[in-house]
A and B are shown apart, each in its own frame.
Chain A
């Protein structure tokens, strides 16, 4: 069954609540990629992103009986993913500050692949800005929805989004300039 609407997804959730392994497997297949990608773009660590995506689905299974069938599943899952990714990024930043441990990130080689510059620019943003950029431009939530997901005032979401995008655009323009000078 292709999930083309929220109604289809609600049907899958209903079937999963009724015990259908196939429905749960379908929900997993539909959403793992976006969950992993969102987590990775916030934490920039593949192992942590795998954990975060996995934990989000485990939390979904755990809370399935309590889940309100009238609500869409995807934003609920993404809310868990992004909040956990933020928790991880904050703890990691704190750890590096406290014990002066070496960076968890691999040293960045000169960008060669498509999108390498974007990854590098995104990584330079504070985790809070990365999270709202990912929610807005990868997962395509509105600022109002993001505010509810992260339990933030809408103005805070807007300002984080604006600052994040400004920095990404500066980075992109710098690259275009450099490209033009080559």
Chain B
């Protein structure tokens, strides 16, 4: 084999990469850079040492987990910094991860999960059984879980949870961020930088906005035609998806990576690597349609980066996952901001980074991804026993040479 052939082969060999690995790293690096610029050294002065095992090194994580949890928690809770953390959060409910079960035998609280692996999206049934839907890059539930909208390249498809394709359309540019309206009659999606709308049966595809930021749009949960999106000029806009009329607009947070409209339609949550803002949405007094309130920044502990956040389905409660880097290693914490509470409640603190968080359909539990330990954590927000499930990567990487941790796309529909 010639040197040229070897070089080409090394560049062209297909290698597995966890979904969103590049994007996840981009956010964390951007947050680190922002911290550096702001001159706050707490986060980055004690950066991961050069020989660190890394954020989600599963084998090392497994090896170190027993000792690591005890050491890190002791450090966290007994050190001056830990004392500050204890003072800062409103209440510490639980500080250690439960012993993991070997596999997902049932979904606590019921419902179905949509999970994106390197091979494509999977539907997980309440009994833990799972099905790969096909070769799609991202997916989202329809409101009652009867379909999944899935994107691959320039194609948007509606697929039944059994994997049977229902319809497909081909867009002019790469399709991303599909979101199905709560009433089920429309799907919003991005094609390149455009925001487009198509009917739930695949007909009537049309342009809604030309320049959007790379953030998924968010439908009004009230079932009306309202759709929120981040525009390319850094604005948060609510538009009437039928007429295209801009109903409300306000500046969006810089570096926005997630937009969610929840709490029964009463609030929009903006998430960036460094900030969470909850904007009240209320009816206009002088004309029909929504108005955006000024918004409230949710207080975060100093020196943390947000890796996930989610707004509860029916109330203004927010779950957030924050990660902090210290010289003893990375720790992550799950926080819940209850409506009106001055401080968040800490549900859990673990070593290594946590990933996405999702509320259960009834708003009583959280599902938190823990790539570093290759686990999912099911955490009750009120009373109840937390559960952990191990070997998530393997469960969603059958037959693959290197298992990769999947991304949680949604928890749907207790029927």
Report how many A-B pairs have Cβ atoms within 8 Å: 178
Q: Is the CB of A45 within 8 A of B59?
A: yes
Q: Interface readout for A28-53 with B: 1 if CB under 8 Å, 0 if not? A: 11001100110011001111111111
Q: Is the CB of B53 within 8 A of A88?
A: yes
**A21 is contacted by which of B12, B34, B47, B53 (Cβ under 8 Å)?**
B34
Q: A24-B33, A54-B28 are known contacts. Are A47 and B9 too (CB-CB below 8 A)? A: no
Q: Interface readout for A46-76 with B: 1 if CB under 8 Å, 0 if not? A: 1111111111011101101000000000000
Distance, CA A41 to CA B16, complexed state (A): 11
B29 / chain A contacts, CB cutoff of 8 Å:
24, 28, 54, 57-58, 61
Interface membership of B119, Cβ < 8 A: no
Q: Is the CB of B37 within 8 A of A33?
A: no
Interface membership of B99, Cβ < 8 A: no
A116 / chain B contacts, CB cutoff of 8 Å:
401
Distance, CA A109 to CA B402, complexed state (A): 11
Most A CB contacts (10 A, CB to CB) among B28, B54, B397 go to B54
Q: A21-B33, A53-B25, A137-B10 are known contacts. Are A40 and B15 too (CB-CB below 8 A)? A: yes
Q: Interface readout for B1-32 with A: 1 if CB under 8 Å, 0 if not? A: 10100110111111111100110111011101
Interface membership of A157, Cβ < 8 A: no
Q: Is the interface of A mostly helix, strand, loop or mixed?
A: helix
Q: From A40, which residue of chain B is reached at the shortest CB distance? A: B15
Most A CB contacts (10 A, CB to CB) among B11, B28, B44, B57 go to B57
Distance, CA A109 to CA B397, complexed state (A): 13
B403 / chain A contacts, CB cutoff of 8 Å:
46, 106
Q: A58-B47, A61-B29 are known contacts. Are A47 and B404 too (CB-CB below 8 A)? A: yes
Interface membership of B405, Cβ < 8 A: yes
**B6 is contacted by which of A24, A83, A92, A168 (Cβ under 8 Å)?**
A168
Distance, CA A51 to CA B24, complexed state (A): 11
Q: From B51, which residue of chain A is reached at the shortest CB distance? A: A87
Interface membership of A118, Cβ < 8 A: yes
Interface membership of A180, Cβ < 8 A: no
Interface membership of A3, Cβ < 8 A: no
**A55 is contacted by which of B55, B60, B404 (Cβ under 8 Å)?**
B55
Q: How far is the CB of B18 from chain A (nearest CB, A)?
A: 6
B12 / chain A contacts, CB cutoff of 8 Å:
114-115
Interface membership of B237, Cβ < 8 A: no
B48 / chain A contacts, CB cutoff of 8 Å:
55, 58-59
A84-122, CB < 8 A from B: 84, 87-88, 91-92, 95, 99, 101, 104-106, 108-109, 113-116, 118-119
A59 / chain B contacts, CB cutoff of 8 Å:
47-48, 50
Interface membership of A149, Cβ < 8 A: no
Interface membership of A165, Cβ < 8 A: yes
Q: Is the CB of A119 within 8 A of B1?
A: no
Q: From B46, which residue of chain A is reached at the shortest CB distance? A: A62
Interface size class of B (residues with CB under 8 A): 35 or more
Q: Is the CB of A64 within 8 A of B60?
A: no
B404 / chain A contacts, CB cutoff of 8 Å:
46-47
Interface size class of A (residues with CB under 8 A): 35 or more
Interface membership of B371, Cβ < 8 A: yes
Q: How far is the CB of A88 from chain B (nearest CB, A)?
A: 7
Q: Is the CB of A118 within 8 A of B44?
A: no
Q: Is the CB of B10 within 8 A of A55?
A: no
B371 / chain A contacts, CB cutoff of 8 Å:
47
Q: From B4, which residue of chain A is reached at the shortest CB distance? A: A137
B59-75, CB < 8 A from A: 59-60, 63
Q: Is the CB of B1 within 8 A of A54?
A: no
Q: Is the CB of A50 within 8 A of B36?
A: no
Q: Is the CB of A119 within 8 A of B30?
A: no
Q: A46-B18, A47-B405, A114-B12 are known contacts. Are A32 and B25 too (CB-CB below 8 A)? A: yes
Q: Is the CB of A140 within 8 A of B7?
A: yes
Q: A55-B54, A106-B403, A134-B10 are known contacts. Are A61 and B32 too (CB-CB below 8 A)? A: yes
Q: How far is the CB of A77 from chain B (nearest CB, A)?
A: 12
Q: How far is the CB of A72 from chain B (nearest CB, A)?
A: 19
Distance, CA A84 to CA B49, complexed state (A): 10
**A46 is contacted by which of B30, B44, B51, B402 (Cβ under 8 Å)?**
B402
Distance, CA A36 to CA B23, complexed state (A): 12
10 A-B pairs whose Cβ atoms sit less than 8 Å apart in the complex: A44-B402, A46-B403, A58-B28, A58-B47, A59-B47, A61-B36, A84-B51, A106-B401, A115-B12, A119-B13
Which chain B residues have a beta carbon within 8 Å of chain A's beta carbons?
Answer: 1, 3, 6-7, 9-18, 21-22, 24-26, 28-30, 32-34, 36-37, 44, 47-48, 50-60, 63, 371, 374, 393-394, 397, 399-405
Give 6 A-B pairs besides A45-B402, A61-B33 with Cβ atoms closer than 8 angstroms.
Answer: A46-B404, A55-B48, A95-B60, A106-B394, A119-B15, A168-B1
